[in-house]
């Protein structure tokens, strides 16, 4: 007996070892070690009432089983006789219980209530919602409460998503390459669909459902018309069937010239009757197979993609034509505003606004105009896009980039919710103070009927999904912010850390600081003080302030930093491109003067002399150097913090993150050295003492090559 006990004990002890499985993301269901807490949970939720006969019901049951087995080491009972956890839609809930729930009228169709109540002296937890989808979201949040070691006896959560369309955008090509993908290759194995349903598809849907994502665009915005063929619709249907129980709709990108490329028509003119009919037929064909198909995402007349302008038609003509095709099925069109002219020499920062603002109010009801967070292109920091606030009569969808195209690919630890939060909190002033970007996106300000947020996915074939373990936090954070744009980055950081690794404060506190500081670090060592678009050409990895002589000036770095003997920065005030004019007067007033422009946007809006005196009292040149140095030191601090976390994380993750932090530090130093040596040519000022000696010269940094950098198409190599 002793022996048996000993060996049983061994099993238990070994199950205590830190062994997160990175594949399971933030849904780590390791047994709770605190025995008191564990016992209280076991008592509180041992018996579950669940009476749903549906695919979503099955998903809910599986998740309850999985999480209870993992976290609590119990097999939940579902005998429905004396339940202490009751999961039911509101219309099937016992009226006496329903009465005890607070504020159920506040929730929308995707919302839910979780509430601890007492009935006849007995404790019960009620989880209810208007729909099964709401229940699913509620279940994931309930499990999260256990993962976070919350006190269930005080539980009252009434929650609904603030944004309707919470959508991942995959820039995945049909050959499984991923444009700007750094986590391997596309998880969509189109070739073996519809027959082979990989487990990853199911786990992908589950992970997204757990953070409230309810849509996914499976294909690249630089799209291929082949995906609209009957063969591919069958493949898409198979995925849609997998995703449906998880409340996730599939969307496709629509190549505007598809009617021509399929060989059916000779034009794609949106006002041509045959073209309209072609898209109506195509929509009918898709919806016949996939009744809950979400709709189309379109990149038109941008970076060489075809679009309505090819026929002298406007974006409104193009979007509305497609919107009409999907309208009978409640489909939507997400029309990207990321356009810049092939010809116009205008500051790219201004072009989307110039082109789209006149269209305000002219799009059909089921069109969302999808706008990147900034007007250039997902830089480490950009001021918010001037279109936010400028189109009060048009639903604008936020487009964030989760994949780190300009933020270190897969090898830099950067916690992006901090970036997203900054954008969402920015005040556009367009309807008075407090008109934040977040309130425009979630429809509060103009009472928008249609709202959305898109995130360009960082998901690939990597065994941990995102390549960098901490890339998972960005996927997670996007989901949380799409659900509620007012969620703080700090909450997201802490929740993710706890769910993924450990609730121990000695882990969570320093690590959440690390996460929250990491975005400022990357800005510092790449593009401080409002600098932007000074990366290497093509693959966008590493510094390239010297990049010039590209097919277009606005693809170069020199166009954006404009460094010369007189100074550095892009004058976007009235003396320059006057992009500032696209913002509200409150912002114009503040930003037109360098003295009142926040440092972080200084060189975005102003060209200033090297010896310009900063708020700190130091020269601009000094501050540039100090920011680059600070960025490097911040990475060194990240390393120091991480070193202390070994006991809280899986050994593989610990080792791999160490290696990646080494790469990040190496590259941060490259950015610092390359940029300072380059800019020094113009400033002709010494590097201050705070910069460690740079032993290589500028030519060395220029000579660094990165063949076969990931995320670019073979043709771009």
Among 149, 198, 513, 590, binds its own copies (CB under 8 A): 198
- Provide DSSP, 49-85: EE---SHHHHHHHHHHHHHIIIII----B---SS-SE
Binding to its own copies, residues 67-126 (CB under 8 A): 69, 73-75
Binding to its own copies, residues 654-673 (CB under 8 A): 656, 659-660, 662-663, 666
In this structure, are strands 332-336 and 249-253 parallel, antiparallel, or unpaired?
unpaired
Could you say whether residue 191 binds its own copies (CB under 8 A)?
yes
CA distance 111 to 107: 5
- 365 annotated active-site: no
| Residue in the structure block whose two tokens are 């939060």 | 421
Among 65, 200, 346, 360, binds its own copies (CB under 8 A): 200
CB of 40 to its own copies, least distance (A): 15
Q: Which residues of 204-227 are buried (b: 16+ CB within 10 A; e: fewer)?
A: bbbbbbbbbbbbbbbbbbbbbbeb
Among 140, 190, 478, 679, binds its own copies (CB under 8 A): 190
| Active-site entry in 39, 94, 281, 303 | 303
CA distance 364 to 355: 17
- 377 annotated active-site: yes
Alpha helices in 484-619 (DSSP H): 489-500, 505-526, 558-561, 585-591, 602-605
Site track 225-254 with its own copies (rule: CB under 8 A), x = hit: -x----x-----------------------
| Active-site entry in 200, 289, 377, 581 | 377
361: exposed, middle or buried (Cβ count in 10 Å: 0-12, 13-18, 19+) = exposed
CB of 219 to its own copies, least distance (A): 12
Could you say whether residue 58 binds its own copies (CB under 8 A)?
no
CA distance 485 to 193: 35
Among 117, 157, 158, 197, binds its own copies (CB under 8 A): 197
Maximum separation of any 2 CA atoms in the chain, in Å: 87
Could you say whether residue 8 binds its own copies (CB under 8 A)?
yes
CB of 557 to its own copies, least distance (A): 22
Cβ closest to its own copies, residue 203 vs residue 586: 203
Name which of 436, 236, 614 is nearest 606 in CA terms.
614
Residue 194, preceding bond cis, omega within 30 degrees? yes
Q: Count of residues binding its own copies (CB under 8 A)?
A: 50
CA distance 487 to 507: 22
CB of 705 to its own copies, least distance (A): 8
The interface region with its own copies, picked from 132-140, 390-398, 547-555, 706-714 by CB under 8 A, is: 706-714
CB of 196 to its own copies, least distance (A): 5
The interface region with its own copies, picked from 344-352, 636-644, 692-700, 703-711 by CB under 8 A, is: 703-711
**CB-based contacts of 692, cutoff 8 Å, min separation 6:** none
Could you say whether residue 199 binds its own copies (CB under 8 A)?
yes
Could you say whether residue 12 binds its own copies (CB under 8 A)?
yes
Could you say whether residue 717 binds its own copies (CB under 8 A)?
yes
Site track 443-462 with its own copies (rule: CB under 8 A), x = hit: ------------------xx
Cβ closest to its own copies, residue 659 vs residue 690: 659
| Active-site entry in 172, 179, 269, 405 | 405
CB of 213 to its own copies, least distance (A): 22
- 94 annotated active-site: no
Among 134, 181, 184, 380, binds its own copies (CB under 8 A): 184
Could you say whether residue 176 binds its own copies (CB under 8 A)?
yes
Cβ closest to its own copies, residue 187 vs residue 440: 187
CA distance 252 to 227: 8
Dihedral (C-alpha) 595, 601, 605, 611: value to the nearest 10 degrees? 50
Among 2, 14, 105, 693, binds its own copies (CB under 8 A): 14
The Cα-based distances of 476 to 25, 108, 209, 708 in angstroms read: 9, 22, 11, 29
505: exposed, middle or buried (Cβ count in 10 Å: 0-12, 13-18, 19+) = exposed
Cβ closest to its own copies, residue 198 vs residue 702: 198
CA distance 414 to 408: 8
Cβ closest to its own copies, residue 247 vs residue 710: 710
Could you say whether residue 10 binds its own copies (CB under 8 A)?
yes
CB of 613 to its own copies, least distance (A): 41
Cβ closest to its own copies, residue 436 vs residue 464: 464
The Cα-based distances of 61 to 55, 135, 265 in angstroms read: 10, 11, 49
Site track 385-414 with its own copies (rule: CB under 8 A), x = hit: -------------------------xx---
Residue pair 530/569 in contact (Cβ under 8 Å)? The answer is yes
According to DSSP, the residues that pair with 73 across neighbouring strands are: none
Cβ closest to its own copies, residue 70 vs residue 443: 70
Residue 444 tokens read as 């509060």
Asked whether the CA dihedral 644, 649, 655, 658 is positive or negative, the reply is: negative
Catalytic positions, written as ranges: 303, 377, 405
Q: Contact residues for its own copies (CB under 8 A)? A: 5, 7-12, 14-15, 23, 69, 73-75, 174-176, 184-185, 190-192, 195-200, 226, 231, 410-411, 461-463, 652, 656, 659-660, 662-663, 666, 705-710, 714, 717
């Amino acid at each position: 007996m002793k022996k048996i006990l000993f060996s049983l004990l061994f099993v238990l002890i070994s199950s205590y070892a830190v062994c997160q499985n990175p594949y399971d993301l933030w849904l780590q269901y390791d047994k709770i070690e605190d025995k008191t807490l564990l016992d209280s949970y076991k008592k509180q939720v041992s018996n579950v009432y669940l009476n749903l006969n549906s695919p979503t019901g099955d998903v809910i049951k599986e998740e309850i089983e999985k999480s209870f087995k993992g976290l609590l080491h119990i097999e939940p009972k579902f005998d429905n006789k004396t339940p202490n956890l009751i999961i039911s839609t509101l219309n099937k809930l016992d009226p006496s219980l329903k009465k005890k729930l607070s504020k159920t009228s506040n929730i929308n169709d995707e919302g839910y209530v979780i509430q601890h109540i007492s009935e006849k002296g007995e404790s019960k937890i009620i989880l209810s919602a208007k729909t099964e989808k709401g229940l699913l979201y509620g279940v994931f949040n309930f499990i999260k409460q256990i993962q976070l070691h919350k006190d269930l006896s005080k539980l009252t959560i009434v929650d609904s998503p603030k944004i309707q369309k919470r959508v991942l955008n995959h820039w995945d090509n049909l050959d499984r390459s991923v444009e700007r993908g750094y986590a391997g290759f596309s998880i969509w194995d189109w070739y073996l669909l519809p027959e082979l349903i990989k487990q990853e598809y199911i786990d992908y849907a589950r992970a997204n459902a757990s953070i409230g994502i309810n849509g996914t665009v499976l294909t690249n915005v630089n799209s291929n018309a082949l995906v609209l063929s009957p063969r591919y619709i069958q493949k898409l249907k198979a995925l849609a069937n997998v995703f449906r129980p998880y409340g996730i709709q599939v969307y496709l990108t629509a190549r505007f010239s598809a009617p021509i490329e399929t060989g059916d028509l000779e034009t794609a003119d949106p006002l041509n009757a045959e073209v309209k009919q072609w898209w109506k037929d195509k929509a009918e064909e898709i919806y016949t197979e996939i009744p809950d198909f979400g709709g189309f995402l379109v990149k038109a007349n941008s970076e060489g993609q075809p679009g309505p302008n090819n026929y002298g038609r406007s974006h409104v003509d193009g979007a509305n034509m497609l919107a009409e095709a999907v309208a009978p099925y409640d489909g939507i069109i997400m029309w990207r505003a990321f356009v810049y002219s092939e010809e116009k020499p205008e500051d790219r920062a201004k072009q989307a606004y110039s082109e789209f603002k006149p269209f305000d109010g002219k799009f059909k009801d089921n069109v969302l105009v999808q706008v990147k967070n900034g007007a250039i292109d997902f830089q480490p920091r950009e001021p918010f896009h001037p279109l936010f606030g400028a189109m009060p009569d048009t639903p604008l969808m936020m487009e964030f980039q989760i994949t780190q195209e300009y933020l270190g690919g897969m090898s830099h630890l950067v916690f992006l919710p901090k970036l997203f939060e900054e954008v969402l909190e920015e005040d556009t002033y367009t309807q008075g103070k407090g008109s934040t970007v977040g309130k425009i996106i979630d429809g509060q300000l103009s009472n928008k009927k249609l709202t959305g947020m898109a995130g360009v996915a960082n998901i690939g074939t990597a065994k941990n999904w995102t390549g960098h373990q901490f890339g998972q936090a960005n996927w997670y954070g996007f989901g949380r912010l799409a659900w509620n744009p007012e969620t703080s980055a700090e909450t997201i950081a802490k929740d993710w850390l706890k769910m993924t690794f450990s609730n121990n404060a000695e882990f969570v506190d320093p690590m959440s600081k690390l996460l929250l500081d990491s975005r400022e670090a990357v800005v510092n060592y790449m593009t401080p003080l409002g600098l932007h678009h000074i990366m290497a050409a093509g693959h966008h990895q590493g510094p390239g302030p010297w990049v010039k002589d590209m097919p277009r000036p606005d693809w170069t770095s020199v166009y954006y930093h404009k460094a010369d003997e007189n100074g550095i920065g892009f004058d976007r005030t009235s003396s320059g491109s006057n992009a500032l004019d696209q913002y509200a007067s409150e912002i114009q007033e503040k930003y037109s003067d360098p003295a009142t422009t926040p440092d972080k946007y200084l060189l975005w809006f102003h060209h200033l002399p090297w010896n310009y005196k900063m708020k700190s009292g130091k020269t601009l040149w000094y501050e540039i150097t100090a920011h680059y140095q600070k960025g490097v030191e911040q990475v060194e601090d990240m390393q120091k913090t991480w070193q202390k976390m070994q006991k809280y994380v899986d050994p593989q993750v610990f080792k791999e993150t160490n290696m990646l932090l080494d790469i990040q530090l190496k590259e941060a130093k490259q950015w610092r050295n390359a940029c300072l040596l380059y800019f020094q040519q113009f400033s002709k000022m010494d590097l201050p003492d705070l910069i460690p000696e740079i032993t290589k010269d500028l030519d060395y940094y220029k000579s660094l090559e990165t063949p076969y950098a990931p995320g670019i198409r073979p043709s771009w190599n």
